[in-house]
Amino acid sequence: MHSPHEPIHQRDFADMVEQVRLREAPTDAGGAVRFGCERCGWRHDAPLADLLARYGPEFGLVNLLNDNLPPQCRGEDSQALGAPQCGLHYLDLG
Ligand SMILES: [Zn+2]
């Protein structure tokens, strides 16, 4: 269990066998998936409908994060564990 205010640690992502699917993605009231990074302050909203059209409903949310990392947060050792050097997470998840 983790507190709702504590972001899921990146290291845990690599161990997750089953990812939450895009069709189950958390959205705000307007139907947009909200991304935010705690390290660089990056914010991004993407309509869930657009994401579904681009990635498909079975796409994993972890993969989606990795595919949408802000450029300024791509660390040099980001490849080490397949996890980004970034605090990017879903603002509405948790
Ligand atoms: Zn960042």
* pLDDT tens digits along 8-65: 555 555 555 578 999 999 999 999 999 998 888 889 999 999 999 999 999 999 899 8
* pLDDT tens digits along 67-93: 888 877 766 554 545 454 678 899 998
Q: Which residues fall inside 5 Å of ion ligand 1, going by CB? A: 37, 39-40, 42, 70, 73, 86
Q: Is residue 15 one of the residues assigned to a domain? A: yes
Q: Is residue 79 one of the residues assigned to a domain? A: yes
Report whether 7 contacts 89 (CB < 8 A). Answer: yes
Tally of domains in the chain:
1
Residue spans of alpha helices (H) in the chain: 10-13, 48-55, 61-67
Q: Is residue 3 one of the residues assigned to a domain? A: no
| CA 87 to ligand 1 center in whole angstroms | 5
Q: Residue 33 belongs to what domain range?
A: 10-90
Q: Is residue 46 one of the residues assigned to a domain? A: yes
Q: Is residue 4 one of the residues assigned to a domain? A: no
